[in-house]
Amino acid sequence: MLQMLWREGSVTIVEAQRALGREVGYTTVQTRLNRLVAKGAVTRTRSRPAKYRAAVAPEEVSAGHLDLLLERVSGGNVVPLVAHLVKDRTLSPTEIDQLRQLIDQAERANQRDRAKGSKR
């Protein structure tokens, strides 16, 4: 539902039904959108027909889900999860470069944190 809202922007229930690209009942769409409103993930206008819009950005949702996955799969330890994701897969040179950049950024952040800690 959120992916559709990110793609479409502001939609009515009927527009959301069409944008989902599969047969979903009006009341099902309405219920799901209203549940997302109650959770604060979607906003609804007071006008009639009401328009629904995502209240959270994709990266906010992705980060939360990834944190939950990390905690549930590997007890918060990043290495086993990353090892599983890269094992038995062929990574492109671009992906390998991106992973190296992330490790470099993490090392720099650790160095900054250690330097701040020693100045206290």
**pLDDT tens digits along 18-33:** 999 888 899 999 999 9
Place of tokens 């993490």: 106
Residue 107 pLDDT greater than 90, yes or no: yes
Residue 73 pLDDT greater than 80, yes or no: no
Predicted TM-score (pTM) of the model is 0.56
**pLDDT tens digits along 42-67:** 999 999 999 999 998 888 877 877 88
Strand partners, 19: none
Gyration radius from the chain CA atoms = 21
Reply yes or no: is the peptide bond before residue 58 cis, omega within 30 of 0.
no
Provide CB contacts within 8 A for 105, sequence distance 6+.
none
